[in-house]
């Protein structure tokens, strides 16, 4: 007995000595985190503050919004600590604190929250870090050259034209139109054509297996992110949800892999010399790394799947919120109509040129203000790569960090009358003194959104065509909205928006 006890003591001491640095670091980190502002409600072991969700993961956005608003208005803090299960999250809700994280070339690693995207997106531009991210960023940047964006503008014109024609048919026959869904299907067709050179005809068939899989996989990923009991992969894979997740992945990967394989067969036929139009996939197929190697099919699939996810849902959400807000402000809508009439005249179905888009300065300010009120991506998550000072506090290396863009965009000490819809906030003279990280709908710093020019171009094309043809009326009051903010900010129910043909 004594020998066994002695052996246990010796083994324990050996383990403690072996991991002494890690143990010391752990207690040091906990001490540093304990000094950060926290919620008045206690965090309990294992579940943290999750009990405040009252068992309803859909309350996550509401919960975090209430928390960060309290930090801002009641105690005027720039950061705070929130425990999601056993994991501490540093919540950033002020532009000065956001700049420390986003501007740095060191804090480039994405949070563990993004690991739930790995089965679908692999480690592409959105989810990768380190040298792999730098290499992919360099390779993909040419995809958004002005000349290629011009090819993309052609696609946007075609698909937005289909949108208007479909709306006219439905409204003429008296069919109730879900404007948000119609715009989303249009955005999906645009990203399919521009990313892969192939459309899924979502506007004509929104019930295809690929479209359904695309939306369902997003729901499951967001559910896992905010539900600690679904985090452990071995257990999740055996659940009914886990098996559904695997089936959805086979549909999504099967579709994109099939398109890539067929397109790759023409790689040696110099299709880039005289393509019908350039697709993002074509750029990837002909891209070479610094050592002269081409990307593998798996590498290409990571990026194509990433663009399918990022390139339509965020843009569709932004346009849906913009239509809603415009429909609540007839005075703003009147100014938009006046600008559209001045630029396009009576031609309500023609091709929009880049020169015409540049003249839509008021519509662009409206879009920016809508993105301030309703940022498509409500938060960005990173991991601190070293101890650093954020606000008035030292925060330890390895801390999971969430920059809450929605709160920053509504910060009462940063934005005057933040709940008011005022596009003139984005007049040049009104932007001069504003903190550069006070407005971050496309993130900021080295890892900002590579496709933001593409997104703004698409939003201007679709919204200008829609608003040139229709007067929009939004029937939901702002105070009645229930907003879900996970990966994408959206209403929990379809927005009640109607269209009236302009005469």
**Which residues participate in the annotated binding site for heme?**
449
In sequence order, the 6+-apart residues with CB closer than 8 A to the CB of 139 are 284, 287, 289, 295
DSSP, collapsed to helix, strand or coil, labels residue 74 as coil
Q: Are 92 and 390 in contact (CB under 8 A)?
A: yes
Q: Give dist(CA 454, CA 148) in Å, integer.
A: 10
- Extract the annotated binding site: 449
Q: Give dist(CA 177, CA 170) in Å, integer.
A: 7
Q: Give dist(CA 261, CA 242) in Å, integer.
A: 28
Residue 277 corresponds to which tokens in the numbers above? 């139009």
Residue 197 corresponds to which tokens in the numbers above? 């050179």
Q: Give dist(CA 442, CA 446) in Å, integer.
A: 11
Tokens 């990313």 identify what position? 195
Residue 351 corresponds to which tokens in the numbers above? 């091709």
What is the chain's alpha carbon radius of gyration, rounded to the nearest angstrom? 24
In sequence order, the 6+-apart residues with CB closer than 8 A to the CB of 213 are 248, 251, 252
Q: Give dist(CA 303, CA 121) in Å, integer.
A: 7
Long-range Cβ contact pairs of 220-227 (< 8 A, separation 24 or more): 220/244, 220/245, 220/248, 221/116, 221/117, 221/120, 221/487, 222/486, 222/487, 223/57, 224/116, 225/113, 225/116, 225/486, 225/487, 226/53, 226/57, 226/60, 226/84, 226/486, 227/57
For the chain, the residue count is 503
The values of phi and psi at residue 185, to 5°, are -65, -35
Report H helices in 19-145.
20-34, 60-73, 95-102, 118-121, 130-140
């Amino acid at each position: 007995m004594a020998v066994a006890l002695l052996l246990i003591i010796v083994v324990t001491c050996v383990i403690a000595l072996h991991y002494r640095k890690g143990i010391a670091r752990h207690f040091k980190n906990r001490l540093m985190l304990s000094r950060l502002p926290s919620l008045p409600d206690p965090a309990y072991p294992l579940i943290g503050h999750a009990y405040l969700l009252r068992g309803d993961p859909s309350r996550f956005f509401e919960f975090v919004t209430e928390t960060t608003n309290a930090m801002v208005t009641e105690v005027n803090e720039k950061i705070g600590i929130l425990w999601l299960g056993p994991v501490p999250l540093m919540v950033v809700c002020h532009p000065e604190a956001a700049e420390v994280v986003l501007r740095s070339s060191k804090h480039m690693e994405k949070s563990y929250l993004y690991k739930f995207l790995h089965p679908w997106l692999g480690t592409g531009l959105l989810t990768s870090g380190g040298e792999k991210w730098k290499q992919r960023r360099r390779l993909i940047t040419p995809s958004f050259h002005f000349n290629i964006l011009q090819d993309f503008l052609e696609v946007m014109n075609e698909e937005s034209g289909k949108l208007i024609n479909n709306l006219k048919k439905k409204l003429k026959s008296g069919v109730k139109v879900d404007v948000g869904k119609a715009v989303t299907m249009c955005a999906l067709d645009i990203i399919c054509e521009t990313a892969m050179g192939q459309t899924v005809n979502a506007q004509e068939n929104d019930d295809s297996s690929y479209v359904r899989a695309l939306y369902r996989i997003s729901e499951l990923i967001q559910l896992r992110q905010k539900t600690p009991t679904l985090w452990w992969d071995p257990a999740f894979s055996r659940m009914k949800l886990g098996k559904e997740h695997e089936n959805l992945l086979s549909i999504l990967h099967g579709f994109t892999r099939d398109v890539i394989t067929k397109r790759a067969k023409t790689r040696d036929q110099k299709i880039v010399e005289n393509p019908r139009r350039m697709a993002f996939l074509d750029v990837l197929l002909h891209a070479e790394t610094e050592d002269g190697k081409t990307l593998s099919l798996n590498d290409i699939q990571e990026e194509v799947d990433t663009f399918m996810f990022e390139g339509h849902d965020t843009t569709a959400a932004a346009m849906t919120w913009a239509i809603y807000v415009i429909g609540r402000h007839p005075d703003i809508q009147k100014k938009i109509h006046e600008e559209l009439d001045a630029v396009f005249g009576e031609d309500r179905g023609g091709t929009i040129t880049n020169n015409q888009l540049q003249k839509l300065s008021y519509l662009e300010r409206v879009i920016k203000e809508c993105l301030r009120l309703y940022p498509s991506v409500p938060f960005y998550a990173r991991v601190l790569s070293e101890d650093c000072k954020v606000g008035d506090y030292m925060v330890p290396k390895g801390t999971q960090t969430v920059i809450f863009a929605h709160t920053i965009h509504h910060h009462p000490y940063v934005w005057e009358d933040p709940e008011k819809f005022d596009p003139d906030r984005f007049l040049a003279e009104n932007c001069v003194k504003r903190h550069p990280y006070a407005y971050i709908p496309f993130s900021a710093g080295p890892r900002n959104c590579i496709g933001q020019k593409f997104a703004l171009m698409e939003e201007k094309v679709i919204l200008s065509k829609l608003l040139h043809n229709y007067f929009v009326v939004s029937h939901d009051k702002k105070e009645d909205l229930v907003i879900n903010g996970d990966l994408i900010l959206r209403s929990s129910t379809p927005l009640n928006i109607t269209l009236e043909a302009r005469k």
